[in-house]
């Protein structure tokens, strides 16, 4: 762990193993921290807070620039570690490291743009000064599916704003978190400003985060169920919260769209990170008139997606995070097939030969998916593309919105009127129109309803870490 500028063991001196999801091999150990370690880390962050907040925006920007440069220099090592620990294909790991660096560079620039206001008053002898100041100590909980970029997406704006922080990384990918912290340490972040507590059981850490009086904000990325618990506990103690949670993204192909182009886009996005992405398309709504062309193209594409170890050339889908994830995907597919869906490609676990020791599921295309199937209403988080055929264009928007989730949605159409009306009518925070990559460090990322509270990235991302202070001045 990393507390007050020092690498250290857990207070109990216990550790937990980190394994490669493709091979089952133990690749490292990390300290198995608990509540006392979290309290110690929070104390360090609180003590370092005043001096870090007092640094100039330029000084904080310089640290983030150095971190960005170091991440670029270490990009290949970081990508190799990510593939080994998280499992995604090496090409995808390299892309994630570059994306992670984008947040550091963006918030290095954004640090210098935090500004207040000078306001007039209805009184001639009064003026107002509006200040934007750091919220204080931030507790961060990050996921395993994007184990480097989800750290920089939170740490970048927090540090730019002048906050100090304590991170609890996902128990499946703590080695990536350690490597990111090494980047920040070498970039010159002062002692106590960044702290990390690792643990096999996150519950005791979460309890401290949500109740400790020195923690002023909690930011979490992960499942909706856990996000609800953290947000509820934090709210009871009046802590600021931002949570980015699950999704159940619709992918709407309108009759006027090119079904082949839409299918190519869907195939490229659906199997990214083995479907283990909160913005992954989970419901592919295709008009009946385009269904055959769309499905044929998808089937051809999916059949060519190769599963395997992320270090193997040509692999497009790596392992799932653990056996529970495989079991969930298998259960959803089996339920769909039992209720009449057709597995046009895949539809099975991969557990023989090179797959025997890992957590693999075959890239799968399901046709004939209907509302009574579990996969129609629940997030899959795996390499399964469910195609749902519709007839009534006027009803597809309601079908897409018929979920408690509201993170990402995708629309394929060649008609600008259809595109704009659909974008305005969709209850989702991120929407791609003929675009399967509607994300960037410079644009807001976040959802509605059960998909979260708050935004990351862009100007909104740093605002999450700032308090507004109003000062009235009598002349």
Residues labelled catalytic? 244, 278
CB-count exposure of residue 460 (10 Å: 0-12, 13-18, 19+): middle
CB-count exposure of residue 317 (10 Å: 0-12, 13-18, 19+): buried
Q: Is 319 helix (H, G, I), strand (E, B) or coil?
A: coil
Which of 5, 102, 1, 115 has the alpha carbon at shortest distance from 51?
5
Helix-, strand-, coil-residue percentages of the chain, each rounded to 5: 40, 25, 35
Question: Is 99 in contact with 149 (CB distance < 8 Å)?
Answer: yes
Rounded Cα gap, residues 436 and 44, in angstroms: 42
- Our CA angle for 452, 457, 463, nearest 5°, is 80
Question: H-type helices in 7-74, by residue range?
Answer: 35-54, 57-73
CB-count exposure of residue 392 (10 Å: 0-12, 13-18, 19+): exposed
CA torsion angle for 359, 101, 451, 316 (degrees, to 10)?
-30
Q: How far is CA 150 from the centre of its chain?
A: 5
Structure tokens at 109: 């620039």
Rounded Cα gap, residues 409 and 395, in angstroms: 16
Residues facing residue 18 across a β-bridge = 28
Question: Is 92 in contact with 272 (CB distance < 8 Å)?
Answer: yes
Question: Is 25 in contact with 143 (CB distance < 8 Å)?
Answer: no
- The beta strands (E) that lie in 191-239 are given as 194-196, 215-221
């Amino acid at each position: 762990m990393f507390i007050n500028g020092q690498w250290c063991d857990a207070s109990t001196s216990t550790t937990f193993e980190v394994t490669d999801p493709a091979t089952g091999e133990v690749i490292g150990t990390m300290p198995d921290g608990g509540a006392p370690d979290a309290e110690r880390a929070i104390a360090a962050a609180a003590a370092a807070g005043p001096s870090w907040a007092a640094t100039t925006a330029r000084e904080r920007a310089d640290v983030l620039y150095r971190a960005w440069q170091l991440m670029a220099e270490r990009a290949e090592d970081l990508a190799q570690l990510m593939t080994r620990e998280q499992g995604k294909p090496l090409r995808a790991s390299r892309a994630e490291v570059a994306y992670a660096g984008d947040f550091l560079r963006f918030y290095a620039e954004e640090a210098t743009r935090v500004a207040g206001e000078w306001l007039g008053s209805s009184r001639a002898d009064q003026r107002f000064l509006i200040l934007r100041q750091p919220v204080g100590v931030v507790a961060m909980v990050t996921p395993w599916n994007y184990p480097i970029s989800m750290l920089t997406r939170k740490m970048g704006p927090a540090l730019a704003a002048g906050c100090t922080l304590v991170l609890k990384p996902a128990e499946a990918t703590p080695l990536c978190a350690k490597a990111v912290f090494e980047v920040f340490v070498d970039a010159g972040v002062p002692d106590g400003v960044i702290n990390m507590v690792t643990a096999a059981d996150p519950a005791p850490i979460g309890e401290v985060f949500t109740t400790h009086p020195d923690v002023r904000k909690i930011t979490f990325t992960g499942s909706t169920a856990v996000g609800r618990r953290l947000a509820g506990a934090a709210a009871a103690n009046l802590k600021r919260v931002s949570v980015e949670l699950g999704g159940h993204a619709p992918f709407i192909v309108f009759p006027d769209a090119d079904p082949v182009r839409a299918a190519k886009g869907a195939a490229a996005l659906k199997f990214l990170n083995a479907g283990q992405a909160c913005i992954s398309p989970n419901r592919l709504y295709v008009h009946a008139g385009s269904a055959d062309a769309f499905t044929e193209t998808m089937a051809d594409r999916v059949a060519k997606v190769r599963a395997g170890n992320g270090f193997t050339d040509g692999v497009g889908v790596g392992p799932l995070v653990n056996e529970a994830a495989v079991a969930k995907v298998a259960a959803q597919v089996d339920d769909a097939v039992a209720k009449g869906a057709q597995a046009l490609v895949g539809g099975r676990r991969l557990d023989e030969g090179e797959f025997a020791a890992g957590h693999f599921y075959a890239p799968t295309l399901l046709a004939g998916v209907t509302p009574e199937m579990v996969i129609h209403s629940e997030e899959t988080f795996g390499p399964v593309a469910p195609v749902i055929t519709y007839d009534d264009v006027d009803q597809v928007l309601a079908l897409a919105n018929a979920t408690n989730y509201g993170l990402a949605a995708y629309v394929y159409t060649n008609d600008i009127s259809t595109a704009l009306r659909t974008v305005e009518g969709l209850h989702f925070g991120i929407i791609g129109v003929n675009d399967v990559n509607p994300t960037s460090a410079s644009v807001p990322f976040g959802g509605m309803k059960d998909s979260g509270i708050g935004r990351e990235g862009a100007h909104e991302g740093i605002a999450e870490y700032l308090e507004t202070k109003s000062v009235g001045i009598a002349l």
